[in-house]
């Protein structure tokens, strides 16, 4: 495994492990807090998926067992006993040790991991004293949709989604999960208002909104997925900031999250009124982000990437890796990719590089590549983009076919070695300097 790939995984894992520790400490006083339990589950789940993709197999295997134990709590009592919380803290430290060791198969590492796993089952079933009952919080009166620019940074109560009177259990579970994610984003925005220069919070903000986009797309909530994907692009730029995020941007981002709730609750999220507001918010945010480049650390010259990938973890990690090079947009299937590519040419902002998976539903990667080349010729885009296949399909005949037909410029098989992708970008754009992005 390459050093660059390890560094990307470790940087993400360290942030998630900090988040796990923070959630476990908060659970000490609130053992039945469902938001904290779900936040804990998602953090372990992300480490598991990232570990598998980057070749940290022992980390992924161990974390899967921990994740399963937390899921039993979510489906059962909904309370994290003290005994389990202590085991989970130890598991968190064990993951850190497994990431930092040069030999995760070492006997002492494996013995420690097995000992922790043996403690999980009895800890899950341990008895817990009933949580202290807190006085009920009055529900706020419903208010009109807030303006895009607020006069002060609002403190917004937690929101519970309701689409109809009696949603089926699966729909309600999805709505609850998305509401929890959006409330986490609200909390992060409030923390950024208090600590605007915290780069770690900017990274968390970007990751959380990206998770909203991925979850919405997975369940075919197209309007919410599209809007939150645009927010992901904006927060990717903010994440690179060397200067504090200003209050004006935070206020509009808060309005954007309010709008996400509106899309979540609406019976017609693709309606003209909501779509106009989606466009207004994203246009305003993009203008603010590009207006004062020094305030958010943006350079005037960047590369433009289109990531075409139907698997969330691969999409997320590619976007994280490409951040220093410029702006990256995502498409979750072939049809969306062709539309995004065509719109980019129309707007005179063509993509420099397309990272394209082959095995996707609908139009597969080979069909998308063929359509991209057709659009370039038909629409007079003489600066052909570079198409890099990023696929699990290790097939020499398909690789040779695509390269000989010039439907792609490079063919990388998963797990992607990011050193290889870095070298490709530098060979395509030798004068580009990532310190300018």
Element (DSSP H or E) covering residue 99: helix 82-100
Sequence-distant contacts of 336-343: CB under 8 A, at least 24 apart: 337/306, 337/308, 337/363, 337/368, 337/372, 338/363, 338/368, 338/371, 338/372, 338/375, 340/306, 341/306, 341/372, 341/375, 342/375, 342/379
Q: Degrees (nearest 5) of the Cα angle 228, 341, 435? A: 70
pLDDT band at 369 (very low <50, low <70, confident <90, very high): very high
Q: Contact 421/325 with Cβ under 8 angstroms?
A: no
Kindly indicate the confidence band of residue 116, based on its pLDDT and cuts at 50, 70 and 90.
very high
pLDDT of 354 over the 90 cut: yes
User: For the whole model, what pTM was predicted?
Assistant: 0.46
Pairing of strands 303-308, 353-356: parallel
Report, as an integer, the average pLDDT of 13-23: 87
Which pLDDT tens digit goes with each residue over 92-107? 999 999 988 888 888 8
> Per residue in 178-213, pLDDT tens?
888 898 888 888 888 888 777 788 888 888 888 888
Are 230 and 282 a contacting pair, CB within 8 Å?
yes
Q: pLDDT category, 90, cuts 50, 70, 90? A: very high
pLDDT tens, residue by residue, 393-437? 888 999 999 998 889 999 998 888 888 999 999 888 887 765 444
Q: Is the per-residue pLDDT at 333 higher than 70?
A: yes
Mapped onto helix, strand or coil, the DSSP state of residue 278 is helix
Specify the CATH class of 300-437 in words: alpha beta
pLDDT of residue 161 exceeding 60, the answer is no
Rounded to the nearest 5°, which phi and psi values hold at 248? -60, -45
pLDDT band, residue 127 (cuts 50/70/90): low
Is the per-residue pLDDT at 248 higher than 80?
yes
pLDDT band at 283 (very low <50, low <70, confident <90, very high): confident
Residue 85 has pLDDT above 70, yes or no: yes
Identify whether the C-beta of residue 414 lies closer than 8 Å to the C-beta of residue 390.
yes
pLDDT reading at 292 higher than 50 = no
CATH class of the 167-298 domain in this structure:
mainly alpha
pLDDT of residue 294: 39
What pLDDT, on the 0 to 100 scale, is given for residue 433?
64
Mean pLDDT of 371-393: 85
**Rounded to whole angstroms, how far apart are CA atoms 218 and 216?**
5
Q: Please tell me the distance from the alpha carbon of residue 149 to that of residue 389, in angstroms, as a whole number.
A: 42
Q: How many other C-beta atoms are found inside a 10 Å radius of the C-beta of residue 372?
A: 25
Q: Where in the chain is the domain with CATH 3.40.50.2300?
A: 300-437
Choice between 318 and 286, residue whose per-residue pLDDT is larger = 318
What is the rounded average pLDDT for all residues in the chain? Answer: 80
Q: Which of 128-132, 154-158, 181-185 has the lowest mean pLDDT?
A: 128-132
Is the predicted pLDDT of residue 168 greater than 80, yes or no? Answer: no
First to last CA, the chain: 26
User: Given 1.20.120.160, 3.90.1530.10, 3.40.50.620, 3.30.230.10, which CATH number is that of 3-124?
Assistant: 1.20.120.160
Instruction: Give 330's strand partners.
Output: 307
- Reported confidence tier of residue 385, pLDDT bands at 50, 70, 90: very high
Sheet containing strand 386-391, edge to edge, reads: 326-331, 303-308, 353-356, 386-391, 410-413
Residues forming CATH 1.20.120.160 domain(s) in the chain? 3-124, 167-298
Which of 121, 102, 120 shows the shortest CA–CA distance to 56? 102
Torsion sign, CA atoms 93, 99, 102, 106: positive
Amino acid 101: pLDDT: 85
């Amino acid at each position: 495994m390459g050093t660059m790939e390890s560094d990307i995984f470790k940087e993400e894992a360290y942030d998630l492990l900090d988040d796990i520790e923070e959630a476990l400490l908060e659970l000490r006083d609130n053992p039945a807090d469902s938001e904290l339990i779900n936040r804990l589950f998602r953090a372990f789940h992300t480490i598991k998926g990232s570990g598998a993709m980057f070749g940290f197999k022992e980390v992924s295997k161990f974390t899967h067992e921990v994740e399963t134990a937390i899921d039993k709590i979510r489906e059962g009592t909904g309370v994290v006993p003290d005994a389990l919380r202590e085991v989970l803290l130890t598991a968190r430290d064990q993951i850190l040790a497994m990431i930092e060791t040069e030999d995760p198969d070492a006997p002492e590492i494996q013995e420690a991991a097995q000992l922790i796993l043996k403690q999980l089952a009895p800890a899950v079933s341990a008895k817990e004293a009933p949580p202290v009952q807190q006085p009920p919080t009055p529900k706020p009166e419903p208010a009109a949709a807030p303006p895009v620019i607020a006069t002060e940074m609002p403190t917004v109560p937690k929101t519970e989604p309701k689409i109809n009177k009696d949603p089926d259990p699966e729909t309600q579970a999805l709505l609850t999960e998305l509401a929890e994610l959006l409330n986490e984003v609200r909390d992060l925005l409030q923390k950024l208002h208090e600590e605007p220069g915290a780069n770690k919070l900017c990274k968390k903000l970007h990751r959380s909104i990206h998770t909203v986009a991925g979850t919405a797309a997975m369940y075919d909530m197209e309007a919410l997925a599209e809007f939150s994907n645009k927010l992901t692009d904006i927060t990717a730029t903010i994440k690179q900031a060397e200067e504090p995020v200003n209050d004006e941007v935070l206020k509009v981002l808060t309005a954007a999250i309010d709008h996400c709730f509106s899309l979540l609750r609406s019976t017609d999220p693709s309606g003209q009124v909501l779509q106009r507001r989606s466009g207004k918010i994203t246009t305003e945010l993009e203008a603010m982000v590009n207006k004062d480049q020094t305030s958010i650390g943006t350079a005037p010259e960047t590369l433009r990437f289109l990531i075409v990938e139907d698997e969330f973890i691969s999409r997320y990690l590619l976007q994280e890796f490409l951040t220093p090079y410029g702006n990256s947009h995502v498409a979750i299937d072939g049809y969306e990719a062709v539309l995004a590519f065509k719109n980019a040419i129309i707007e005179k902002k063509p993509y420099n590089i397309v990272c394209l998976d082959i095995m996707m539903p609908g139009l597969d990667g080979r069909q998308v590549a063929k359509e991209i080349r057709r659009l370039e010729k038909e629409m007079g885009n003489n600066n052909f983009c570079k198409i890099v296949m990023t696929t699990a399909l290790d097939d020499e005949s398909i690789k040779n076919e695509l390269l000989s037909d010039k439907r792609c410029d490079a063919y990388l098989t998963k797990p992607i070695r990011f050193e290889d992708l870095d070298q490709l970008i530098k060979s395509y754009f030798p004068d580009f300097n990532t310190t300018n992005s």
